């Protein structure tokens, strides 16, 4: 039972509001403004917060204190990894800011939510774009920046896992409309070689939906220019073919959570070294390079049960290298795929 005397936090300007009402109001406000996956994650986090309030017999958001929030963080640390808790707490902070605007909690209470530190290199083994992150990014781009260059680039990276050099070397003429495919070519004489040279040449099926997205980009957003060799690049700038650095910037910039969600690192955009300045998104702890999209795509294909042989050919990587460097599935995930196949026999 809470000690009502020691925990009394009512202020004259605060208006009583139950945690249940506060959560309902916040989610109603939140739903139209974020991607579906982000909203669902927020919903789960706030349901956990509600359950904690019930356990602690907190019946009025006015009563919330910094110590209460520290207790909540402590309890959640027993349940989830630090990196996951960071993201959960970003949703709690946004909710607290919203409740402060409704005079339900003290102003500035969000600043008293302290995320746990994550050791440097803690995720080094699994530095990739995870499926839920890719889904949130692409859903945001689909809603707010449909068929833009970054929308198509990131969609292609996620669905095909092609290398940066192959992405840069694509021409409009490489599209194969009847097959909903793209032809990958080794063209060193015009400055777009493939890493594995002619062995990297192949057709990649992208499906009808992604092919239509690419076509929409060409019709609406692509800058119609030629490169220095007279070719028609698929991805362009006003100067011609897109550069490697521009593609890297797209990857780093759009894997910053603050572009499409809240910052999980307890930073403010105004003072964040990774936000707002050219060539700085890579300083964000959450940002990922193009290789992170490739590794994430390969891992996702394998986790969905696509055979390693098909993934090997699609991504132009040997089976030996695939297993050694790209397959980031956990042992239980690998077992689940094997079980799926065995149960079908």
Nearest CA among 293, 297, 269 for reference residue 281: 269
Q: Say how far apart CA 190 and CA 171 lie, in whole Å.
A: 12
CB-facing half-sphere around the CA of 206: CA atoms within 13 A: 30
Sequence-distant (6+) residues with CB within 8 A of 256 are 274, 275, 281, 284, 286, 287
H-helix segments, the chain? 19-30, 36-55, 66-77, 82-101, 131-144, 149-160, 164-168, 207-220, 244-254, 290-303, 308-315, 319-321, 331-343
Report helix, strand or coil for 205.
Answer: strand
Is residue 175 one of the residues assigned to a domain? yes
| Residue 326 pLDDT level (bands cut at 50, 70, 90) | confident
Asked if the model's pLDDT at residue 189 lies above 90, the reply is: yes
Report helix, strand or coil for 241.
Answer: strand
Same domain? 45 vs 85 = yes
Average pLDDT of the residues of the chain: 87
Mean pLDDT of 327-343: 76
Same domain? 109 vs 139 = no
* Least-confidence region, from 183-192, 198-207, 312-321: 312-321
Asked if the model's pLDDT at residue 46 lies above 80, the reply is: yes
Is residue 92 one of the residues assigned to a domain? yes
Domain boundary among 121, 143, 160: 121
Mean pLDDT of 104-112: 90
Is residue 6 one of the residues assigned to a domain? no
Same domain? 105 vs 211 = no
13-26 per-position pLDDT tens digit: 899 999 999 999 99
CB-facing half-sphere around the CA of 46: CA atoms within 13 A: 24
| Encoded tokens for 272 | 């964040």
Same domain? 209 vs 309 = yes
Same domain? 148 vs 109 = no
Asked if the model's pLDDT at residue 336 lies above 60, the reply is: yes
Contacts of range 233-236, beta carbons closer than 8 Å, 24 or more positions apart = 233/170, 233/171, 233/172, 234/170, 234/171, 234/172, 234/174, 234/175, 235/149, 235/152, 235/153, 235/167, 235/168, 235/170
Report helix, strand or coil for 237.
Answer: strand
User: Taking a C-beta distance cutoff of 8 angstroms, is the pair 193, 186 a contact?
Assistant: yes
Q: Which domain holds residue 92?
A: 19-121
Is residue 13 one of the residues assigned to a domain? no
User: Taking a C-beta distance cutoff of 8 angstroms, is the pair 260, 136 a contact?
Assistant: yes
Report helix, strand or coil for 57.
Answer: coil
Asked if the model's pLDDT at residue 187 lies above 80, the reply is: yes
> Number of folded domains in the chain?
2
Domain boundary among 94, 121, 148: 121
254-305 per-position pLDDT tens digit: 999 888 888 887 777 777 878 866 657 777 888 888 989 999 999 899 888 8
Work out the percent of the chain whose per-residue pLDDT is above 70. 91
Query: Comparing 117 with 281, which gets the higher pLDDT?
Result: 281
Asked if the model's pLDDT at residue 105 lies above 90, the reply is: yes
User: How many angstroms separate the first and last alpha carbons of the chain?
Assistant: 56
User: Which CATH number belongs to the domain containing residue 36 in this structure?
Assistant: 1.10.150.130
Q: Say how far apart CA 265 and CA 257 lie, in whole Å.
A: 9
User: Taking a C-beta distance cutoff of 8 angstroms, is the pair 287, 256 a contact?
Assistant: yes
Query: Comparing 268 with 141, which gets the higher pLDDT?
Result: 141
- Return the pLDDT at 117: 61
* Least-confidence region, from 38-42, 95-99, 195-199, 247-251: 38-42
191 torsion bin: left (phi>0), alpha (psi -120 to 50), beta (else) = left
Tell me, yes or no, if the pTM score tops 0.85. no
């Amino acid at each position: 039972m809470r000690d009502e005397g020691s925990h009394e936090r009512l202020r004259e300007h605060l208006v009583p509001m139950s945690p249940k009402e506060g959560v309902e109001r916040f989610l109603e406000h939140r739903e139209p403004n974020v991607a579906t996956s982000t909203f669902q994650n927020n919903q789960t986090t706030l349901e956990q917060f509600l359950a904690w309030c019930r356990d602690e017999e907190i019946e009025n958001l006015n009563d919330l204190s910094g110590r209460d929030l520290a207790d909540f963080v402590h309890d959640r640390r027993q349940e989830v990894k630090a990196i996951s808790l960071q993201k959960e707490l970003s949703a709690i902070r946004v909710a607290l800011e919203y409740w402060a605007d409704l005079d339900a909690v003290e102003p500035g209470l969000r600043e008293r939510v302290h995320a746990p530190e994550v050791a440097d290199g803690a995720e080094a083994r699994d530095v990739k774009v995870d499926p839920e992150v890719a889904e949130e990014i692409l859903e945001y781009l689909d809603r707010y920046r449909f068929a833009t260059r970054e929308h198509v680039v990131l969609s292609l990276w996620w669905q095909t896992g092609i290398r940066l050099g192959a992405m840069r070397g694509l021409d409009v003429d490489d599209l194969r409309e009847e097959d909903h495919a793209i032809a990958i070519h080794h063209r060193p004489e015009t400055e777009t070689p493939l890493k594995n040279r002619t062995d990297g040449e192949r057709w990649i099926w992208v499906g009808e939906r992604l092919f239509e997205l690419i076509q929409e980009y060409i019709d609406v957003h692509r800058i119609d220019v030629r490169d220095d060799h007279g070719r028609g690049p698929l991805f362009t700038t006003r100067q011609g073919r897109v550069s490697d650095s521009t593609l890297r910037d797209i990857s780093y910039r759009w894997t910053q959570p603050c572009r499409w969600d809240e910052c999980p690192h307890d930073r403010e955009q105004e003072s964040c070294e990774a936000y707002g300045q050219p060539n700085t998104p890579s300083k964000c702890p959450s940002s990922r390079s193009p290789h992170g999209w490739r590794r994430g795509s390969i891992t996702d294909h394998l986790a969905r049960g696509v055979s390693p042989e098909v993934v090997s050919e699609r991504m132009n990587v040997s089976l030996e290298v695939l297993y050694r460097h790209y397959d980031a599935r956990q042992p239980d995930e690998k077992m689940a795929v094997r079980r799926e196949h065995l149960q079908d026999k």
